[in-house]
Structure 1
Amino acid sequence: LILFLLIHHYTKWWTFTVHRRPLQSPSITSQELFRLGIIQSDHNLSFLVFSREREREREREMTELAHSPIFTYASMLTLFTLCPPFVILLWYTLAHQDGSVTQTYGFLSKNGVQGLIDVWPRPTVIAWKIIFCYAAFEATLQLLLPGKRVEGPISPTGNRPVYKANGMAAYFVTLATYLALWWFGIFNPAIVYDHLGEIFSALVFGSLVFCILLYVKGHVAPSSSDSGSCGNLLIDFYWGMELYPRIGKNFDIKVFTNCRFGMMSWAVLAVTYCIKQFETNGKVSDSMLVNTILMLVYITKFFWWEAGYWNTMDIAHDRAGFYICWGCMVWVPCVYTSPGMYLVNHPVELGTQLAIYILVAGILCIYINYDCDRQRQEFRRTNGKCSVWGKAPSKIVATYTTTSGETKTSLLLTSGWWGLARHFHYVPEILGSFFWSVPALFSNFLPYFYVIHLTIMLVDRAMRDDDRCRSKYGKYWKLYCEKVRYRIVPGIY
């Protein structure tokens, strides 16, 4: 498991450093540029040449960061090979092997590859129906529910995506509809749990086809100039072709995969596990209640802050490929919900006092995580003209140049939560995940797999974000790091 996580970490790291070029780079003369009205003087032409040289210099810098292609390709192929069976084995271990890794290991040691084939559920009609109904419902809500117009960050090519912020409404409509279907006897959520293996199996294959279609779309019908190929099919498929793929003008594919399919399924499955335990045992254990409440509080926080999420690396930097889309559509529903999946058949009675302690500690961590994001979002919204912990914020005014040669300005917050560490908000996020996992206590390791996975993922993200900002802001980022010395944990790391 640890080896798998390390491979996952380093594969993301290697692909991050690969240079990407535009899909089409036709040669064009200065006379044609004059005729098209793109430039009006030799000065403009000189500026374009300078911008192109600067872009080439940045490309050379990024290429120097790249690891050996052999390791990169081997790691990607390893992940393509390991991720699907890992999802199935995680479900199988939690649902049929009492959450014991040693029991599953013993079974596979005895039966080999045939054992994996035997336990791998075949996608069924009911599994596909559940997936398609859920996906269609969420897509409809994304399109039809009203929401505030929100602009995302300016992309490297100067584009600014526009979103409709209706995630919170979609979240409440989804949960209310799901509970109403159960309450009125129209649909029993326990059916979802009973067919969970088949659903995960269908998602494994269906999401792979989805990623292939995204790859083809990136080649034949990119939605914006924020798209391109590095010239390698494997890397393009893994990392993605488009930064902001859309169907038509209004349906953003990454918002759908990341938020409305992935994160929403987390909430739906958390409720599903709670209902399944109630129908099996006639009651819900306090451990399951703590787990479900904390997960729902966290997901509620996410959708409340969804517009802020559109400014993060997942949306504003990582392209729509296997890594992001397959991960959100398969990895999130399985791995992120795994503590609750374990508790369905392994209820733990914590006692009122311990349950309250864990619940309060978890909510506090989620609140701090939210307040970190709120603080930075307010700072950006007011252009630094706000109060941070009761006083004027400390900041660095940084300038950078886009790939089109346009100069932009950003404010880097160096006080409040963001003065403690450059990514301090990851600390309460990791602790929050621990508190919704710890109700399972310590009989088995697997309920804590998500905590370990999240820790490695966030450390990796912090490193990638630092490298991206160093490349973007240059001397200003160096000054920022001198002022905010620690990356994640104040005084330690």
Structure 2
Amino acid sequence: MGDTRMVHPALVTYTSMISLLTLCPPFVILLWYTMVHADGSVLHTFDYLKKQGLFNGLKSIWPSPSLVAWKIIACFGAFEALLQLVLHGKRFEGPISPTGNIPVYKANGLQAYAITLITYLGLWWFQIFDPSIVYDHLGEIYSALVVGSLVFCVFLYLKGHVAPSLTDSGSSGNPIVDFYWGMELYPRIGKNFDIKVFTNCRFGMMSWAVLALTYCIKQYEQNKQVADSMLVYTILTLAYVTKFFLWESGYWCTMDIAHDRAGFYICWGCLVWVPSIYTSPGMYLVNHPVNLGSKLAVSILLAGLVCIYINYDCDRQRQVFRKTNGRCLIWGKPPSKIEATYFTTKGESKTNLLLTSGWWGLSRHFHYVPEILAAFFWTIPALFNHFLPYFYVIFLTILLLDRAKRDDDRCSSKYGKYWKLYCTEVRYRVLPGVY
């Protein structure tokens, strides 16, 4: 059976799930329309929908998936899937699952990332493919992703029922919950193609970097120059995604991969929400170039890079701690830690070390602080003429605070008295001294 425990009351949980299932797809289209065709103004879009009527207005806004859009998605997806399968990479073992399985991965994300960006820029440089085509068909691409990813989630739901890859699968007994949260923890096609690595890393995160370059190139081709605001956004975005692929094997140990199952929440989100919402500040800047001036641009850039580095160092610190079984130095000193015992669903006793020093001594999820700040710094080049570019920062803050609570509740259930001890040593959940 699947884990049916809920962090929030049942009414809140079901209302949230149904709301997200029904509202997220049209929101993606509305965001694209507002950024590209309504001058980034929510009020302009609202007035249009008010005049046309919600249904008719949304129908007129929503582009049909075009053949060009399907071709772009298919080529990109096939290219990333091929790289995931054929590139050499070190063997990496993920954390032990609740049923005792140890997922095995091939760590080749950084190579795939480098090849993807070099290929994309090469196609543009040698005039084989113009990235502006992606921007010009962006609405159709999002429309195709909305539909195609929903179909893909249905496939995951059916696969979880009929042909699960591992024993870390099962039904909650509620089809809505199963579709939303997923049936399988580690779904694979064959032995080697990990679906969540593809959706989360090789499609979602990779598309983020590719679209950042697309927006920059589009602005250059449109205006014959790139504003410093776009350069700051692009550099910070690429720095963040590069950091991600440097640390990709660490990501495989996080909640997204090791605890959240493959359903609408994770897979549709990475296939649709990441390429649209996460890239929205750059989408806005294409038609709204802002000249920050060298001093302000450099200041924002440096602040963003510092936040990205701290976020990376938080994850690196914990990864080194786990890899060495605590036999390492944290900020020049032996780490303080708690040895926590827990049991798998099979009743097997296991032990984990909980780090209570370094960044992880400041708060239990301190790494979320620089991540939110980094997102703010690559958004602030848009300045404050419109609210919508900041939607991602607001969404990310809510997402990470909710994730911190879910992770705390999961760890409390898993480690029991050891987690209580951990919380007495590391008092704050996210923001030291505040929360």
Which bracket does the TM-score occupy, shorter chain normalised? over 0.9
Q: How does 1:38-437 map to 2 (within 5 A)?
A: 62=5, 67-68=9-10, 70-112=11-53, 113-437=55-379
Q: Displacement of 1:79 after TM fit?
A: 1.5
Instruction: Give the aligned residue type for 2:95.
Output: P
Counterpart of 2:67, as a letter, is V
Q: Distance in 1 between matches of 2:160 and 2:28?
A: 27
Distance, in Å, in 2 between the alignment partners of 1:384 and 1:20 is 32
User: Residue deviations 1:102-143, cap 9 Å, x none?
Assistant: 111111111111011001000000000000000000000000
The separation in 2 between residues aligned to 1:483 and 1:358, in whole angstroms, is 35
- The alignment covers a number of residue pairs equal to 434
Deviation, 1:372, is 0.4
8 Å CA contact 2:2–2:183 kept in 1: the answer is no
Structure 1 residues 176 and 222: alpha-carbon distance in aligned structure 2, compared to 1, 3 A threshold = same
* 1:25-36 to 2 correspondences below 5 Å: none
Q: Which amino acid aligns with 1:421?
A: S
1:477 matched to 2:393: no
| Cα distance in 2 between the residues matched to 1:269 and 1:66 | 35
- The residue type paired with residue 392 of structure 2 is Y
Whole-angstrom CA distance in 1 between matches of 2:12 and 2:92:
40
- Please give the TM-score of this superposition, normalised by the length of structure 2: 0.98
The aligned amino acid for 1:99 is G
Runs of at least 5 residues in structure 2 that lack an aligned partner in the other structure: none
Structure 2 SS opposite 1:371: helix
Larger Rg: 1
1:302 maps to amino acid: F
Root mean square deviation of aligned Cα = 1.1
- The one-letter amino acid of 1:95's match is V
SS at 1:400 equivalent: strand
Q: Residues of 2 paired with 1:216 and 1:188: CA distance?
A: 38
What is the Cα deviation at residue 78 of structure 1?
Answer: 1.9
For 2:13 and 2:205, the matched residues in 1 are separated by 29
2:400 is aligned with 1:458: yes
SS at match of 1:412: strand
1:66, CA displacement in angstroms? 6.2
Aligned pair in 2 of structure 1 residues 71, 354: CA closer, same or farther (>3 Å)?
closer
Aligned partners of 2:376, 2:252: CA distance in 1, in Å?
25
Q: C-alpha displacement at 1:73, in angstroms?
A: 3.3
Superimposed CA distance per residue, residues 331-366 of structure 1 (whole angstroms, 9 cap, x where no aligned partner): 000000000000000000000111000000000000
1:20 is aligned to 2:9: no
- Give distance in 2, aligned partners of 1:79 and 1:426: 23
Task: Tell me how far apart the structure 2 counterparts of residues 265 and 378 of structure 1 sit (CA, whole Å).
Answer: 28
In 2: Cα distance, 1:483 partner to 1:408 partner: 22
Q: 2:135–2:218: 8 Å Cα contact kept in structure 1?
A: yes
- The Cα shift of 1:74 comes to 3.4
- TM-score scaled by length of structure 1: 0.87
Q: What is the CA–CA distance in structure 2 between the aligned matches of 1:141 and 1:318, rounded to whole Å?
A: 25
Q: Is structure 2 residue 387 aligned with structure 1 residue 445?
A: yes
What percent identity do the matched residue pairs reach?
A: 74
| Separation of aligned partners in 1, 2:13 and 2:341 | 33
Measure, in 2, the Cα distance between the counterparts of 1:347 and 1:67: 45
The whole-number CA distance in structure 1 between the counterparts of 2:119 and 2:113 is: 10
What SS does structure 2 have at the residue aligned with 1:163? strand
- Shift in Å, 1:232: 1.1
Quick one: which amino acid aligns to residue 73 of structure 2?
I
- 1:309 shift after superposition: 0.1
Contact in 1 for aligned 2:207/2:275 (Cα 8 Å)? yes
Deviation of 1:71 after TM superposition, in Å, equals 4.4
Q: Distance in 2 between matches of 1:207 and 1:356?
A: 39
Is the 2:208–2:279 Cα contact (8 Å) retained in structure 1? yes
